[in-house]
Structure 1
């Protein structure tokens, strides 16, 4: 049985995961203890994190140090070559790397961020679940969850949970039939 790749993130009600400059400062204003508890529960079930270079650099800037040191970590980048933390930089074929990672034994794999990476993995049929927390804020502009137009990606709603003023939706990605 292969491991699940799960996109787990928070987005604004109007569908943005970050402000136009990449900032996620608006997330700090949410103050949802129940939402934080749900995140901790999710975090305990993953043993691997994946992200793009921009997400990695934002995480370092916000936390001051790499926040996922207790997890196997991979950053996809063609410009970043070395890190000062236990992260491995991957510059090759992202879908092939994730396919191999899913085939290894282990827990769930968290795609932390990277709209381009998410879209590429979704098109390659490598995303298994989406857990999206909807924040009660309208940003008006920003970075969208999906970086390019996708065609007919069917999802099946698994759960809907309200935590204070936020709602978390978990969807299973319906696998494409073999062509």
Structure 2
């Protein structure tokens, strides 16, 4: 069975973006250091948007994921950069009750997110990449099988939380940790 993997960068205090949302990549609290880029290229090259893949000469299919799941706000980061589908090499689903279709290759899921993901997990294929945001991650928390957190050395005090919603308790156990030269730790947890 396919796994739902929440693979995302976070601060020490559990934020995936600053208070204004938007693309935090390259911000001082989420630096794109050479070791982070090398880690992504070696371990998760399919998580790079197509312009980065093209610039790096990556054209292979995904190693871990063949499907990306994201919320409307996360998807709109790509739209703001002029990309209606930043990941054409993956099956692309956006969960939104209000977004109008921007690209025929991008599937809009209007309701029933949890049931939709349960169905996706029974299909043949590689794992499902949950890119964000925090509200979607919270709604899919019962189905998240693995967390892969690129934990940066920063504390920002407020912003978009890793999980944005009411209290619910779920236990995960650590299964791997990679410390990069820049001080960023990649922490992997599986559902306990």
Normalised to the residue count of structure 1, the TM-score between the two structures is 0.88
* Deviates most, 42-51 or 147-156: 147-156
Report the alpha carbon displacement of residue 27 of structure 1 after superposing the two structures with TM. 3.4
1:72 is matched with which residue? Answer: 91
Whether 1:23 and 2:22 are equivalent positions in the alignment is: yes
1:169 is matched with which residue? Answer: 187
Cα deviations by residue, 1:94-126 (Å, 9 ceiling, x for unpaired): 01100111111000100010211111111xx21
Closer, same or farther: CA 48–137 of 1 in aligned 2, 3 Å: same
Distance 1:48 1:141 in 2: 30
* Deviates most, 2-11 or 31-40: 31-40
* Deviates most, 28-37 or 96-105: 28-37
Distance 1:131 1:20 in 2: 22
Match of 1:95 among 114, 119, 123: 114
Contact 1:3 1:105 in 2 (8 A): yes
Contact 1:7 1:130 in 2 (8 A): yes
Distance 2:86 2:100 in 1: 19
1:155 is matched with which residue? Answer: 172
2:152 is matched with which residue? Answer: 135
Whether 1:36 and 2:37 are equivalent positions in the alignment is: yes
Distance 1:153 1:74 in 2: 25
Closer, same or farther: CA 32–151 of 1 in aligned 2, 3 Å: same
Distance 2:32 2:123 in 1: 37
Unaligned runs of 5+ in 2: 47-61
2:52 is matched with which residue? Answer: none
1:14 is matched with which residue? Answer: 13
Runs of 4+ in 1 over 6 A off after TM superposition: none
Contact 1:32 1:163 in 2 (8 A): no
Q: How much is the aligned-residue C-alpha RMSD, in angstroms?
A: 1.6
Distance 2:79 2:27 in 1: 16
Unaligned runs of 5+ in 1: 175-179
Normalised to the residue count of structure 2, the TM-score between the two structures is 0.82
Cα deviations by residue, 1:25-81 (Å, 9 ceiling, x for unpaired): 36344132222222232233200000011100013324x323211100000011112
